[in-house]
Amino acid sequence: MRLLVLGGTWFVGHAIVRAAIGAGWEVTTFNRGRADPFPEGARLVRGDRTRPEDLAALAAAGPWDVVADTSGYVPSNALAVARALAPVAARYVFMSTLSVYRDWPVKPLNERSEVLDCPPDAGADFGTDTEDGPTSYGYQKAGCEAAAVAVFGADRTTILRPGVVLGPREYVGRLPWWLRRVAAGGEVLAPGSPGRIIQPVDVRDLAAFTLQTIRDQSPGAFNVCAPIGSATFGDLLTHCGRSTHADASFTWVPDDFLLAQGVRQWSELPLWRTFDGVWNVDTTAARAAGLRTRPLELTVRDTWRWFVESEDISNHDRAADIGISREKEAQVLAAWHRSDKRSS
């Protein structure tokens, strides 16, 4: 199998490249070549996907059986890329997001849920950001999906819509933040209820499913998450404690109290969000097409191992944008304990 990965430098794309090489595929990557070296066996074509001359040079390096686009964010650019590669590629896989759904994160979702409307030639300024609703990012990704289908057709296009992706090399910093915080020990502010269901997917399982859809030439859109009910927030923090061997205790504080204290969902306490649809995503279609997900415990353990062994995590972990400060955490915990004493 001849695979072209657009991106492939750090997280999702890197996992796809490694999985494909491990499967014996012939892998080419296209990016600016500014990040880490690729796994041995991949061919790197350097270039910028926004430059027509670089796209022409890339097309000349083909052909490929399939393109996996992990770096498309602007519809007009995704359209130009797809058009440039259509003569030299048989299929197109686009890495999208659950944010393309109009009702995310408020309502439960399946692949029949309404997708945001964005034209395939939209520019980077298309879309709006709504509090607790659709975002420009979601509109743009929906337009990129439309661009891929417009060029390759529905029968030759696969759309993958992951939710939260965790695992080794995660640069967003959600799981790394929790691992750091739990490893530091002491009383840890835990959000909401330990029984809250969560559905993160391991990046390696996302990569394996990407390859599966390529092998099977599976068209259509797939939600890529862990099954509903497979893990809870309590499981996540328990696994963080076990993986780090930390002397930490967890104080679970109700959602309404955290909100009243001004704690920001999703960012200050990563993966904590109170809406019904965040962790209520149907993955029946993906599982029927071959998606298999490992236990959350393995994702947490392997991420901590990578975190400890990595020498350049600070270059990629967006720690400045993720996580509550220790000072604010202590303030919220103190306020909760005072409140708890008054009510008892």
Residue 187 has pLDDT above 90, yes or no: yes
pLDDT in tens, 306-319: 999 885 555 554 55
Query: What is the average pLDDT across 34-40?
Result: 66
Rounded to whole angstroms, how far apart are CA atoms 192 and 274? 8
Quote the pLDDT of residue 8: 76
Count H helices and E strands in the chain, helices first.
11, 15
Which of 25-39, 79-93, 111-125, 160-174 has the lowest average pLDDT? 25-39
For residue 42, CA distances in Å to 33, 285, 304 come to 12, 31, 27
Beta strands 2-6 and 64-69: pairing type?
Answer: parallel
Q: Of 122 and 10, which is predicted with more confidence?
A: 122
Quote the pLDDT of residue 37: 59
Contacts of 80 (CB under 8 A, 6+ apart): 52, 55
Look-up of token digits 């007009």: 76
Quote the pLDDT of residue 317: 46
Of 89, 86, 105, 85, the closest CA to residue 97 belongs to: 105
The number of CA neighbours under 13 Å toward the Cβ of 340 is: 11
- For residue 343 the two structure tokens come to 């009510």
Beta strands 89-95 and 64-69: pairing type?
Answer: parallel
**Start-to-end Cα distance in the chain:** 65
Quote the pLDDT of residue 17: 96
Q: Of 189 and 344, which is predicted with more confidence?
A: 189
Rounded to whole angstroms, how far apart are CA atoms 257 and 261? 6
Contacts of 112 (CB under 8 A, 6+ apart): none
Q: Which domains does the chain have, with CATH numbers?
A: 2-162 (3.40.50.720), 174-198+228-280+295-343 (3.90.25)
For residue 257, count other CB atoms closer than 10 A to its CB. 16
Q: Is 297 helix (H, G, I), strand (E, B) or coil?
A: helix
pLDDT in tens, 90-105: 999 999 999 999 999 9
Quote the pLDDT of residue 133: 87
pTM: 0.95
Beta strands 43-46 and 231-232: pairing type?
Answer: unpaired
Quote the pLDDT of residue 40: 78
Rounded to whole angstroms, how far apart are CA atoms 82 and 72? 10
Quote the pLDDT of residue 23: 97
Phi, psi of 105, rounded to the nearest 5 degrees:
-100, 20
Phi, psi of 327, rounded to the nearest 5 degrees:
-65, -45
pLDDT in tens, 63-90: 999 999 999 999 999 999 999 999 999 9
Quote the pLDDT of residue 33: 73
Average pLDDT, the chain: 94
Q: Of 226 and 31, which is predicted with more confidence?
A: 226
Residue 200 has pLDDT above 70, yes or no: yes
Using pLDDT thresholds of 50, 70 and 90, give the confidence band for residue 41: confident
pLDDT in tens, 232-280: 999 999 999 999 999 999 999 999 999 999 999 999 999 999 998 999 9
